Amino acid sequence: MTNSQSDDRSQARPMPTEPFGSTGHRSSRVLFGAAALGSMSPERAETTLSQLIPAGVNHIDTAASYGDSEDRLKPFLADHRSDFFLATKTGDRSGETARASLERSLERMGVDSVDLIQLHNLVEDDEWAEAFGFGGAVEALVNARSEGLCRFIGVTGHGVRIPGMHLRSLAEFEFDSVLFPFNFSMMSLPTYRADVQALVSLCQDRGVALQTIKSIARRRWLSDGPKFAWYEPLTEPDAIANAVSYVLGHDTGGGQRLFVNSSSDARLLPLIVEAARAHTKAPSHETLVADQNRLDITPLFDGKELERI
**Closest by CA position to 242, among listed 296, 184, 202, 298:** 184
Catalytic positions = 66
pLDDT of residue 4: 45
For residue range 93-106, list pLDDT tens digits in order: 999 999 999 999 99
* Cβ–Cβ under 8 Å, residues 241 and 205: no
What is the domain count for the chain? Answer: 1
Whether 38 is in a domain gets the answer: yes
Question: What is the Cβ-side half-sphere exposure of residue 213, based on CA atoms within 13 angstroms?
Answer: 27
Residue 289 within any structural domain of the chain: no
Give CA–CA dist 57/67, Å, rounded: 22
Q: Confirm whether 306 is domain-assigned.
A: no
Q: Per the domain annotation, does 309 fall within a domain?
A: no
Question: Residue 32's domain spans which residues?
Answer: 17-210+248-261
Ranges in the chain, pLDDT < 70: 1-12, 225-227, 303-309
Q: What is the pLDDT of residue 251?
A: 87
The answer to whether residue 3 sits within a structural domain is no
CATH number of the CATH domain containing 204? 3.20.20.100
pLDDT score of 231: 87
Is residue 220 domain-resident? Answer: no
Asked if the structure places residue 267 within a domain, the reply is no
pLDDT of residue 225: 64
pLDDT at 136: 98
pLDDT for residue 226: 64
In a domain, residue 62? The reply is: yes
pLDDT digits (tens, 9 = 90+) for 152-182: 999 999 999 999 999 999 999 999 999 999 9
Are the beta carbons of 127 and 93 closer than 8 angstroms?
A: yes
At 6 the pLDDT is: 44
Given this model, what pLDDT does residue 5 score? 41
